[in-house]
Amino acid sequence: MAHAVQLFDSDDSLAAQVSTFLHDGYLSGERLRVIASAEHMAAIARHLGHLGCPVAEALASGRLRWMDAASTLQLLMPEQRLDARHLRSLVRDLAQPVDDSGVPLRVYGEMVNLLAERGDLRGAIALEKAWNLALAGAPATLLCGYCSGHFGDPATAAALAEICREHDRVRTCATDLLGSWLVERH
C-alpha cells in the first residue's frame, strides 16, 4: 500500500490535483474510489472529463465509485469513536467488485478533513492509523486530502507533524502556497 497526504489551499486545486491522481490510476487500469463531498465529487468529475477519462462509462462499469464523505464517516464513527469493524467492512466494500486479477485500488478520501474541520485532529490521526492497518499489504494507493487552513494555528503543529508521519509521502503543489509552506515547516 502507498499512503499519501496533501494539503489544499482551494477547492479548485483539490479538484485538479485529485483528478490527476485518479487519472493516473485510470490509465494504469486501477479501480478508482472517491470518498468526498458532493461538491468536490462534481468538480473532480469535471476535471477528470477534461483529462479524457470517460467518467460516465467508468461509473457505469463500477471501475469508478463515489461515496459521500460525511455519511461514510458517520458509519465509521457512529458514536464519535472509530469502529475498526466498520472500517474493515468499508475497505471490503471499496475493493468490490472482487476479482482474482489483483487489480490495484486507488482511493481519494477526505473524511479526515471533515474531522480536522471539526477540530478533531486526534480522530483524524486515529483514522489515518486505521487506514494504514486496514490496507497493509493491499495493492492500493490512498491519497488523503486536508484543507491547509485547518493547520494555520501554531497549536495544530504537532498534529500536522503526526499526520504527515502516518503517510509514506507528503504531496505538495506550487499553487497551494499555504499547504506547501506548512509542510516545509513540519
Q: What is the CATH number of the domain that holds 75?
A: 3.40.50.300
Q: Is the pLDDT of residue 97 over 60?
A: no
pLDDT of residue 186: 63
Q: Is the pLDDT of residue 185 over 80?
A: no
Give the pLDDT band of residue 98 (cuts 50, 70, 90): very low
Alpha carbons within 13 angstroms on the beta-carbon side of residue 73 total 23
In a domain, 28, yes or no: yes
In a domain, 2, yes or no: no
In a domain, 164, yes or no: yes
Which of 181, 179, 182, 178 shows the shortest CA–CA distance to 157? 182
Give the pLDDT band of residue 82 (cuts 50, 70, 90): confident
Q: How many domains does the chain have?
A: 1
In a domain, 26, yes or no: yes
Which of 158, 180, 156, 157 shows the shortest CA–CA distance to 170? 180
Q: Which domain holds residue 50?
A: 8-169
In a domain, 126, yes or no: yes
In a domain, 176, yes or no: no
In a domain, 180, yes or no: no
